[in-house]
Amino acid sequence: MDFDPRHAATSPRRKARGRRMARSVIKALALQTAILAGIAAAARAENADSHGGVAAKLSYCKDCHGPAAQGYRGYFPIPRLAGQQPEYLKNQLRAFVEHRRTNNIMFNVAHTLSPSMISALAANFRELNPKPLGGGPKPLVAAGRRIFEDGVPDANIAACAACHGPDATGSGEIPRLAGQLYPYIVGQLTNWSNERGQKPTEPDTSAIMSPVAHSLNGQQVEAVAAFLSYLQ
């Protein structure tokens, strides 16, 4: 068979297209799995409200957020809820229902919860304190600590500790960041405008973070997230 240079030229392109298609399929399957999990969780939520109360509700929350609510490192990182400030959790659940945050899975879950159930869940999560999952790049931890404690004075970025506390445990509607998943923090800060404040006519406390999130560059975001991911 004669050598055809056209085949040699197009082969790498075909392989590249194949890899892109494979990645697209994997991403689509992961998204479909997450959506189905959210629908199932919402169904369990409605059932739990009338059959089993808080214990049943906590059980389905932990299906996604981990057995001790420590979070889950998957294709879509699911945040740590353990040790979180109750007022913050209540506000965020309302934010999903009111479309101040856009997440169809959490909307399906949150809109089934009564105010008393939300308070009970928040109080239970507040008492949990599992070991952090870690996972952030350790070479970035020292730089992340400096940004958290001192900010970035040259860029007029305030210290994270000024609001979140010296131990990053938060207060009221200001969230605990200690032990939060590295990819979750990176994703939130990098895409802040698409993650929070989706209802400009009804701004909430997330507006405070907007200028900080937009001022941090990618390396600084990764550094802070790495430091927080190991913080107990």
Fold agreement (17-130, 131-232) = yes
- Determine the pLDDT at residue 194: 81
CA pair distance 58, 192, nearest whole angstrom:
28
Handedness of CA 121, 38, 135, 150 (dihedral sign): negative
Question: Residue 69 pLDDT > 80, yes or no?
Answer: yes
- Determine the pLDDT at residue 38: 52
Question: Residue 200 pLDDT > 60, yes or no?
Answer: yes
Residue 5 buriedness (CB in 10 A; 0-12 / 13-18 / 19+)? exposed
- Determine the pLDDT at residue 205: 79
CA pair distance 121, 50, nearest whole angstrom:
15
**What would the mean pLDDT of 192-202 be, rounded to a whole number?**
78
Write the single-letter amino acid at 130: P
Of 86, 65, 51, which is closest to residue 174 (Cα–Cα)?
A: 86
> Per-residue pLDDT tens for 148-159?
999 999 999 999
Vertex 196: Cα angle to 90 and 129 (nearest 5): 45
**What would the mean pLDDT of 153-181 be, rounded to a whole number?**
96
CA pair distance 75, 88, nearest whole angstrom:
25
Of 56, 179, 185, which is closest to residue 112 (Cα–Cα)?
A: 56
Write down the domain spans for the chain. 17-130, 131-232
One CATH from 3.90.180.10, 1.10.760.10, 1.10.10.10, 1.50.10.10 for 131-232: 1.10.760.10
If one looks up domain 17-130 in CATH, what number appears? Answer: 1.10.760.10
> Hey, is 78 helix, strand or coil?
strand
- pLDDT interval class at 204 (50, 70, 90): confident
